[in-house]
Amino acid sequence: MTERPVRTTRLATLLAALTLLSITSGADATAQDPPIEPHRIIGTIYYVGAQFGSYLITTSEGHILHDTGDLAMHERIVDNIEALGFDVRDVRIMISSHAHWDHVEGHAAMKRATGAQVVALGGDAEALASGVDNSALGARGWEPVVVDRVIQDGETVTLGGVTLQATWTGGHTQGATLWTTSVEVEGADYTVAFRGGEIPNAGVALVDNPRHPSVVEDTRRTLRVLNAMEPPDLFLHNHARPAPATLDPTLPVNPACVTCYDSAGWVDYMTRVTAGFERMLREAGIG
């Protein structure tokens, strides 16, 4: 996803936005890719991704896989699942954060490897099935994959007593989805949210964008929803990055986690992305 040349006066803003959204090209991401050992994050949630996030949620009746990264990550995710002692063929359901290549390019290969049911929301379901990035960004596509179940805002997936609820966060992509669940650790329940996406990529056309004409309205709605939510105990980002400097010490989270934000981190994150979108609107001349 190469950015066009930009005026110097906008460069700092764009760089900040790029850092915030962790927009990296595949080549850059590979070059900067420190190996991340697969690990349990909390309860039955495991990190099996690389530079792009991928989570395994295990249950007694098979597993749920969240995001498949880019195609280059496919073998690594399979190896990571096996290294944790699980069988990749036990993955029954595949869900995703949002339909951009760095999170769903591996879907078709993973569906072949697992036979899992692919679940996606609205516009992202259309993108997965067509292999075309229909977000405002319109980046590279991927091998089309059959979507077995198309869901709407608020619907849930359940497997082996584990339920995840979809919250539509369209804006970054048309069907970006925040998935939330609850895990129990030593008798205490913790709410966990898997990042969907919040605001459009830096540099996209916000006005008359032919792929996503309602991108501004959908993003405003997304930010209203996210900022009104009760902050989850644990927020899992979909890109590996240095974790925030502070993490609630009472959270029973693996210190190896590279994607973990606590509830204060969620509030700070949402405040920053909201400000980032307001900046984008001003630069686009929208009030």
- Site residues, Zn ion (CB under 5 A): 100
Q: Which of residues 100 and 107 has its CB atom nearest to Zn ion in the complex? A: 100
Would you call 229 exposed, middle or buried from its count of C-beta atoms within 10 A (0-12, 13-18, 19+)?
middle
Minimum separation from the CB atom of position 201 to Zn ion (A): 7
Task: Tell me whether residue 104 or residue 118 sits nearer to Zn ion (CB atom).
Answer: 104
CA dist., res. 219 & res. 274, Å (int): 10
- Which residue, 98 or 111, has its beta carbon nearer to Zn ion? 98
Question: Helix, strand, coil: what percent of the chain each, to 5?
Answer: 30, 25, 45
Report the nearest approach of Zn ion to the CB of residue 246 (Å).
Answer: 26
Query: Considering the complex, what minimum distance in angstroms separates the CB of residue 12 from Zn ion?
Result: 22
Query: Measured at CB, which residue is nearest to Zn ion?
Result: 100
First to last CA, the chain: 28
- Residue of 278, 163, 175 lying closest to 227 (CA atoms): 278
Angle of the 107-114 helix axis to the 74-83 helix axis, nearest 10 = 40
- 49 burial class (0-12, 13-18, 19+ CB within 10 angstroms)? buried
Q: Nearest distance from residue 160's CB to Zn ion, in Å?
A: 29
- What angle, 0 to 180 degrees and rounded to 10, lies between the N-to-C axes of helices 8-21 and 263-283? 150
Supply the minimum distance, in Å, between the C-beta of residue 7 and Zn ion.
Answer: 24
Nearer to Zn ion, 100 or 111 (CB): 100
> Would you say 43 or 69 has its CB closer to Zn ion?
69
Least distance to Zn ion, CB of residue 68, Å: 14
> In the chain, how long is the greatest CA-to-CA distance?
55
The nearer residue to Zn ion, 43 or 200, going by C-beta atoms, is: 200
